[in-house]
Amino acid sequence: MSRPTELSADARDEAMKTLPGWAYHESGKAINKSFKFADFSEAWAFMNRAALLAEKMDHHPEWFNVYNRVEVRLTTHDAGGITQFDIDMAAAMERFAA
């Protein structure tokens, strides 16, 4: 799988319109979202699904979990910012959380 390049500001802004609740990190080089689930088991199931995709994509999120909450930050370190990988991972996480 080829590694993507950083998206232009216009492409990032357009993609963000399709990701409800996602916001730019203060650095402008990542996107964030806080997911809240009914309980720990649902949060863990979400993380498990996302982890399997992350391994397949070789694109791993930064995340933090406490009980029913999962804080996610996505960036593509080797591209220096937000790429299509981050947008695709965020969209998948939205489906997993639904």
Mean pLDDT by 10 residues, the chain (98 residues): 84 94 92 98 97 94 97 94 96 96
Q: What pLDDT score does 51 carry? A: 97
Counting other chains too, the contacts that 87-91 makes at CB distance below 8 Å and 24 or more residues apart are 87/7, 87/15, 87/18, 87/19, 88/57, 89/50, 89/53, 89/54, 89/57, 89/59, 89/61, 90/19, 90/22, 90/31, 90/33, 91/18, 91/19
Q: Which domains does the chain have, with CATH numbers?
A: 29-97 (3.30.1360.20)
Q: What pLDDT score does 98 carry? A: 92
Q: What pLDDT score does 4 carry? A: 85
Q: What pLDDT score does 26 carry? A: 86
